[in-house]
Amino acid sequence: MKIRLLLPFLLLGLIGIASCSKSSEKPKDKPVVEVPDDPDDPGPTDPSQTLIIRFGGDSYQNSSTLELGYRKDAILLILETEPGWTATASADWIKLASYEGEAGKMGLIAGFAKNDFIPRSGTITFKSGNKTHIMTIDQSGAPQLRLTIDGIQADFVLVEGGNFLMGDSDLPESRYRTSVNVSSFYMATTETTNALWEAVTGSLPYDDLEDFEGHMEYDRPNHPVSGVSWTLVNEIFFPELRRQTEINFRLPTEAEWEYAAGGGKYKEGFIYSGSNTLNDVAWNYRNCDDKQEVGQLMPNALGLYDMSGNVSEWCSDWYIAPYQMEDGVSDPTGPATGTHKITRGGDFSEQELFGLGTCYIRYRYPIVPGCYDGCWGNSGHPDEPECFRCDKTGFRIVLAF
């Protein structure tokens, strides 16, 4: 038996469920993850829901599933059984209150607190005589999350999983187009800013980089951080962010990045992330001469900004070209080893000279994870110098569950 609830129950107020918001439980100087205020949230609605659980006859079932939205909810459960039954909840966000109606009907009101975090599950176990019924409660995660560290905010949207065609058969690096299934995850709406990097690590990465001399990066808190190697992101930034928040933030996989850039479940079908017109969604050679503040142009259908242009973005995968995946693969993570990591999205220096350019959502580009590589394309010449390849490369954060 599978039951889907879409509307909250009028009796919710009877059981006094407290909000799960973490913001009031933590000191101001501690990182906080919460649901941002939504002025368009209509709040609870009125219609009630009633479910009947039968313990007698041929209609008895030993299990069921209840699917809930993230908002506060409640349901009246009527038990058709003899007196002496019990009900036990497995989680403190599930509250039970006994109920006795007309004609001796027995039951309880089950209330469910608002979910301010990722999807969660719990159970209610009913026992009557020698029979047991287990109801699994699956509550969806909040559609948006906000991370706050030392007053610096980063917003995340829920990217609901689905299937899409990854790659482009006309690009040698992206052949062959492959059907890929992606699980749900949260993605930061913007590229990681200088302010957030500094709030997490205590400093900015530019001091030792010649490419940033005179750029005044310390005065540009809302610009995307760049000049960060894949190694620095994964060995310094993410370990420190996980330590502070106790949450497993990470880079997106290449499949997650491309799925989100294309609008996720909305499957926008645009060349760039959110539009077929580059200047509408991407900082590029034709509308700027340097990286810009995040979130200033149009977002895509998921509410993600700057996935085309501004700075290119690291993915977690090792690079291989073309793809080596079977059709229908779920949550691919790329090859186990390699020499280069994937970057996506293009940057502010790119333009549409030949073909669609590097801001095209299916374009992929490899960079060595430490960023320093041969200036002449690793020619093998003994005098070939090393160049820094990441001055226009940043990243965005993903929370998977």
Coil, strand or helix: which one is 388? strand
pLDDT digits (tens, 9 = 90+) for 135-182: 999 999 999 999 999 999 999 999 999 999 999 988 888 877 899 999
Would you kindly state where each structural domain of the chain is located, as residue ranges? 38-139, 144-400
Alpha helices in 237-310 (DSSP H): 238-245, 254-261, 278-281
Whole-number pLDDT of residue 10: 28
Q: Residues 38-139: name the CATH superfamily.
A: Immunoglobulins (2.60.40.10)
Q: What's the rounded Cα separation, in Å, for the pair 385 and 387?
A: 7
Same fold, 38-139 and 144-400: no
Following DSSP, what letter does each residue of 83-96 receive, concatenated? S--EEEESSTTEEE
Residue type, 218: Y
Judge whether residue 59 has pLDDT over 60. Answer: yes
Q: What's the pLDDT score for residue 24?
A: 41
Determine which of 63-67, 103-107, 237-241, 298-302 has the lowest per-residue pLDDT on average: 103-107
Quote the pLDDT of residue 8: 34
How many CB atoms lie under 10 A from the CB of residue 253? 21
Identify residue 304 by its one-letter amino acid code.
Answer: L
Neighbour-count burial of 194, counting CB atoms closer than 10 A to its CB (0-12 exposed, 13-18 middle, 19+ buried): buried
pLDDT at position 15 is 33
Give the CA angle between residues 240, 246, 251 to the nearest 5°. 60
Task: Kindly give the pairing relationship between strand 106-112 and strand 94-100.
Answer: antiparallel
pLDDT tens string 305-317: 999 999 999 999 9
- Sequence letter at residue 181: N
Q: What is the mean pLDDT of residues 5-9?
A: 34
Q: How far apart are CA 36 and CA 132, in angstroms?
A: 40
Q: Residue 243 and residue 245: Cα distance in Å, rounded?
A: 6
CA pair distance 2, 61, nearest whole angstrom: 11
Give the C-alpha distances (Å, rounded to integers) separating 206 from 213, 224, 288: 8, 12, 21
Residue 25 in this model has a pLDDT that exceeds 70: no
Name which residue leads in pLDDT, 313 or 215: 313
Closest CA to 295 of 281, 314, 277: 281
- Whether omega before 332 lies within 30 degrees of 0, making that bond cis, reads no
Q: How many CA atoms lie within 13 A of 163 on its CB side?
A: 5
The DSSP secondary-structure symbol of 1 reads: -
Tens-digit pLDDT profile for residues 274-303 = 999 999 999 999 999 999 999 999 999 999
| Average pLDDT taken over every residue of the chain | 88
Residue 172 to residue 266: CA distance in whole angstroms? 27
Instruction: Give the SS3 label for residue 394.
Output: strand
Mean pLDDT, rounded, for 182-186: 98
Mean pLDDT value of segment 122-129: 95
Assigned CATH for 144-400: 3.90.1580.10
How far apart are the C-alpha atoms of 191 and 223, rounded to whole Å?
Answer: 9
Q: Could you give the C-alpha distances from 301 to 116, 160, 275, in angstroms and in order?
A: 23, 12, 10
CA separation for the pair 161, 315 (Å, rounded): 18
pLDDT in tens, 327-384: 999 999 999 999 999 999 999 998 876 778 999 999 999 999 999 887 877 777 887 7
Residue 98 near residue 108 (C-beta atoms within 8 A): yes
Identify the pLDDT of residue 41: 63
How does DSSP classify residue 384? P
Strand spans (E) along 47-198: 50-54, 63-68, 73-80, 86-89, 94-100, 106-112, 120-128, 131-139, 144-149, 152-159, 162-166, 178-182, 185-188
